[in-house]
Amino acid sequence: MALINQINGNLLRELSGGSSARGSGSPSQLDGRGTGSTVDRSSVDYSSGLSSGAQIFGRSLSRMNMAVSTLQVPIRILEQLQDYGTELYRLAQLAANPVTTPEDRTALNSEFLGTLVRYQDNLDDARLEEENLLSANDLGDLLSEFGINLNAATTLVESFSRFGGADGRGGREQILLADGTMANPLSLSLEDETSAENARVAFKGLLDEIKRDLSVLRTVSGELFDAMRFSAEASRAFQEAGLRTLSERDLEKAATEIVRKIKDRTDDNQLAEHSDLDRSLAAELLGS
C-alpha cells in the first residue's frame, strides 16, 4: 500500500506512543504498564506524534533535495557536452563535404581536435571524488544513499535503467559506422574525407545518446522533485495538525485532514508512486 494511503489515525497514534502522549494520568498509566489502572484515552493529547511526523518528513525533504541537487551536476555537464558535440558534428559535416579542399579540411581538423579536448575536459568534470556522475552505477549508488529504491517498479526506475546506454556511461558511446565497424567518436579525426564522414556519423550517433541521457536524468529529477514536494507538504500538514490538542477521537479526522491537504497542495496525479520513492522515509515513519 502506498505511503500516502497509510496516513491514518493508527499511524498518528503510533507516532505519539503511550509514553509520549500527554494526559492527566501517570506515566505508568499512560503506557499501559500500571497495575489495576484505567486510562481515559479521551484525555490524552496525541499532538506530540504530529511533531514527530513533521520531523520525519522534514528529513525526507532534505534527502530528496540533496538528490535533486546532485542530479543537476550531470545534467549541466551533459548539456555542455551536447553543445560541444553539436560543434564537433558541424565540423565533421563540413570536412566530409567532397568540395572541401585539403587545406580547409586541415584547418577544420585542427578546430575539431581542439574542441575534442574541451569535450574531454567536461567529461572529467563529472568525477566527484571517487564517483563518476556520468556512470550509471556510481549515480545509482548515490541515489540509493539518498534513500531511493532502485528496485521498485516506478517511473523513476524505468527511466533510470536507460541511462548510459550499452556501457552505462553518459557522454561516450561506441557508435556503429557505415562500414559495420564500431568506433569511439572521441578517437576520431578529420584527416581526409573518409575519416571526416566516419566522424560525422559517429557524432550524430553520440548526440542521439546524449539527448537520450539528458531526457532520462530530467525525468528522474522531475520524479524526485515530486517526491520532495510530497515530503514538504506532508511535513507542513503534520505541523499544522499538531498545533491543537488531539484526543483519541480526533485522530482519524486529523489524519483525513492531513491527507486532504497533501493532495490539494501537491496536485499530483502520481502522488501514490511519489510517496513511495524514499524508502528511508517509509522505514522511519512506519518502522518497516
Return the domain boundaries, the chain: 3-28+41-286
For the chain, the straight-line distance linking the first and the last C-alpha, in angstroms and rounded, comes to 13
Across the chain, which has 288 residues, the per-10-residue mean pLDDT values are 95 74 40 43 72 96 96 96 98 97 97 97 87 94 94 92 92 90 95 96 96 97 97 97 88 96 97 95 86
User: How confident is the model at residue 208, as a pLDDT?
Assistant: 96
User: How confident is the model at residue 44, as a pLDDT?
Assistant: 66
Q: How far apart are CA 220 and CA 21, in angstroms?
A: 40
DSSP string, 70-105: HHHHHHHHHHHHHHHHHHHHHHHHHHHSTTS-HHHH
Q: How far apart are CA 39 and CA 86, in angstroms?
A: 73
Q: How far apart are CA 168 and CA 141, in angstroms?
A: 13
User: How confident is the model at residue 33, as a pLDDT?
Assistant: 40
> Which of helix, strand or coil describes residue 45?
strand
- Contact criterion met (CB below 8 Å) for 237 and 262: yes
Q: Under CATH, domain 3-28+41-286 is a member of which superfamily?
A: f41 fragment of flagellin, N-terminal domain (1.20.1330.10)
- Contact criterion met (CB below 8 Å) for 281 and 60: yes
For 82, list phi and psi in degrees, rounded to 5.
-65, -40
DSSP string, 205-219: HHHHHHHHHHHHHHH
Q: Give the position of cell 553543445.
A: 83
User: How confident is the model at residue 46, as a pLDDT?
Assistant: 85
> Which of helix, strand or coil describes residue 99?
coil
Model pTM above 0.75:
yes
